[in-house]
Chain A
């Protein structure tokens, strides 16, 4: 790689915050032509936010961006394109019923009453051949596999003569072969003098594809190094940082009674690719099993099959000695599965309903809430007040719709609800995401109490601190597999970090 004197892009002192969280704190980044620059970090480290700023989707709170040394504002994606910046997002910006060509030229300036698709098609076709992208020109994008759709997005960037290409976790949706192809493509792009940014949490990709790596943690830059000057373990250490294993976790007692067992479970995701590949998990009574991993490695699908919202394509699920593999959501609830979803407003709560109503969305059919054929609202209110008091949930007004409550209190409601349903297994997904410190502590307490009472808890979280603080054992998910399992006490965060980034002992990351 030749040393270029001036960076193509310079981001200086970028600050960006959203309600409740500072996503980027005083971030500096320089991108050079002909260089592949990896952005490495966990969930929430701020990588996507930073690049979304560069790609024109967000405006920074403070800081500046220099392109070719010139200060510029990038208020819209269109402007970004004009400046030669383009991004391949995790969720593609494609119109399903349009062909690749139509999608690529969409949004470009040009005469309204003309559309020379033929010459565009020729150009795009030759670009496709040039980079070995193999993209069909004439079929609707909706009918293509995810890998090819991604290449349409890449073609779009090439056609628009982007000189700065950003890839956001591109291999999350690809097969191993497709990932290799992508690597090839990226190498040829940088060989041509383009600047490439590669957001990832996978070490192998950092090492194989990039020249420089910047590690982000908690919104701040930890370090920026040439890839050949830094070791893998150093990278993991930078990414994970110092972890404090909470001493207040006394550890559960090994009861030996198995509550949940997954046997070689397989399932597909919505796009039709395998999401879980032969997953084996066991959770015992009175135990918290933490599932570590960067989100997008199958955790969502894991939760969905456990609550009956996704079908298994292989393997079995055993709950308390009973085979519940094909059960519906209702059956699983009746069999004792409680669930706190990752996206609370979407899946866990009914926004316009009150706290009392939300507390009974699973239990409203129980005898205790019925008075003859009627719903016993008094009982509901009474029960709700008890729960609110017990868990110190702040409810300014009983009749208020729950979406007006703070995130922490909403989460407490969901957790309280699930805990008060008779259950054997509690599955929680990212329970403290977006919550303040106090609420987080309360939620953690509730989970520990759960374990005390002898229930089994499956804690799926992309927050390593949380996992270390609460779990008895930790299983690490990577690319739809469990790549490692260990007892939480005595394990080093680095070990987990290694597994999370695909660097397993002997495990091939694909």
Chain B
């Protein structure tokens, strides 16, 4: 005599456990894993076998108790959409690609982080530091711009002429890809 478990119920139980009961489990979204997988760079989430090699390779996991790439993959697989996309964890990733090189599944956790962050941005979850860089890029063609002093010094130091940037071309590209709509929301 065996008892067949109800998959949905199991997912609920696991989700309940990994969120310490804090999440709204009625909002579990079974499609979320595929939503991530269908984003560019997101396919790795389908290959994850929850082995934890990414977490044991992760520098940030040694520093920040809550940062755990394996667990992040688990929360995606379980469908805790808003926990993932509204949380801070995807923004703690250094993109050092250590996990990517070490994943035994070729699962590209570090790549999937970009897919997750792209989705998070669309939910309005974007750290101020990123907004500053992105707006600078849109307005000047660079994420960091040289100060007037730096430009004066270039001449003094005998460096080449001031690097030029075609800001209009950058704006044209970024308007076409709707980048501006993502980074000027609410401002």
A binds B: no
Residues of B within 8 A of A (CB): none
